[in-house]
Structure 1
Amino acid sequence: MQVQDTPEEWRVVATTTPFRGAKTSVRTDDVVMPDGSVARRDYQVHPGSVAVVALDERDRVLVIKQYRHPVREKLWEVPAGLLDVVGENPLHAAQRELYEEAHVKAEDWRVLVDVFPSPGGSDEAVRIFLARGLSEAEGERYEVSDEEADMELARVPLAELVRGVLAGELHNTCLVVGLLSLTAALNGDGPDALRPADAPWPARPFEA
């Protein structure tokens, strides 16, 4: 048996969009179930996101601490952001986020993992990159605002962060998934065996 997710789309007999926000919206679909009944499903429509696990030469990961109002906590996270334009190259978006949030650039990029963070309630897809060969970006720092104006920035040993994840002290999805995936890669075939940075992403197709 091949354990692999497969594309499938059940018939939708009615759809509405009861809410539209600046970046996301809520859609309501009436979906035909396998037994012929119709069930209503509400979910967030999301443009997609990218995140970056930036690993330096001392095996430290670049992390930021940011206030997240829905959960009423300041969370340690990896640099991340939305795909602002339909069809945007996710690598370019990831490079932009690393520059804007940390004023850092990287020489080596790989696809670490692709995830649907909450597939029961959102169509959001996230591509998490591994970035290595870090150095300070040229030019002036990006001017931040809102929650980002209060961000903290740190480089923390990978092993210490993984301990925090398993101890229930760190909760951000991209951080948790990214760190554990990187640990698996390091203990397996190594980062160089990861997919290239321009690997296809069926969940969010893009121009190379």
Structure 2
Amino acid sequence: MTSHPSLPGSLADASLADSEMSWPVTSSEEKFASGFLRLTLDTIVSPDGGEHPRAVVRPRGAVAVLAVDDEGRILVVDQYRHPVGRRLLELPAGTLDVEGEEPVDAAARELAEEADVRADTWEVQLTMYSTPGYSSEAWTIYRATDLTPVPDDERTEREAEEADMHQWWMPLDDAVAAVLDGRIADAKTAASVLAEQVRRSRA
């Protein structure tokens, strides 16, 4: 390990990565539970022996889809998000709320339900934690191509916030600009758009 020549910290090499670790938990008290998530109050023990309370939101996990059409445009949907009081531009996405469903199948279901689109080709684009300071929620973002429309008679009747959802196909450069100037602020969407830009720059 080599120290930075003039600043605190060490110089990283190409192998640097997240790593598994679990501090001891002396107690875990469930404060809330629903079909989508649990909230626990955990007491963890740091290496120096100190005990620290931590509220942890425990969702069931989630998936999102970067759908790319034959012209290289990407799909975003807009919908009202009550917790932040805004309409957000986002990738089609949803929670793993069907017991036993594989994540890629959940992603395909969400793409069909929210955008009336199917894809023949799927690959994992990103895996990420959205807010690891207080939530265990893990996201898998898929890149979907070879797209076709869902037939009219097989389309989902959307409800609640999704009933007012719109679908937009954006050139990637426009999506990148929207991320960088704050018009797209959803974390998973911003990360996926920028990852797609890197992917294409390396092609």
- Per the TM superposition, whether the score is higher than 0.5 is yes
Deviations along 1:100-149, one digit per CA (max 9) or x if unpaired, are 01111112111100000100010000000000111112342101101001
Structure 2 residue aligned with 1:156? 170
How far does residue 163 in structure 1 lie from its aligned partner after superposition?
A: 0.3
- Runs of 5+ unmatched residues, structure 2: 1-12
Structure 2 residue aligned with 1:169? 183
8 Å Cα contact 1:47/1:86 also seen in 2:
no
Q: Larger radius of gyration, structure 1 or 2?
A: 2
Letter in 1 for 2:20: P
> Greater relative contact order: 1 or 2 (C-alpha under 8 angstroms, separation 6 or more)?
1
**2:108 is the alignment partner of 1:102:** no
Structure 2 residue aligned with 1:143? 157
**2:92 is the alignment partner of 1:83:** no
Structure 2 residue aligned with 1:51? 64
Secondary structure at the residue paired with 2:16?
Answer: coil
Secondary structure at the residue paired with 1:66?
Answer: strand
- Percent identity reads 38
Number of aligned residues? 189
Q: Which residues of 2 match residues 5-20 of structure 1 at below 5 A?
A: 5-20=18-33
How far does residue 88 in structure 1 lie from its aligned partner after superposition?
A: 2.8
> Which moved further from structure 2: 21-30 or 43-52?
21-30
Deviations along 1:144-176, one digit per CA (max 9) or x if unpaired, are 101001111111111101101001111011210
Runs in 1 of length 4+ with deviation above 4 angstroms?
none
Structure 2 residue aligned with 1:22? 35
Structure 2 residue aligned with 1:202? none
> Which moved further from structure 2: 19-28 or 105-114?
19-28
Secondary structure at the residue paired with 2:162?
Answer: helix
Letter in 2 for 1:147: E
Q: 1:121 to 1:86 in 2, by over 3 A?
A: farther
**2:49 is the alignment partner of 1:62:** no
How far does residue 21 in structure 1 lie from its aligned partner after superposition?
A: 2.6
What is the RMSD computed on CA atoms of the aligned residues?
A: 1.2
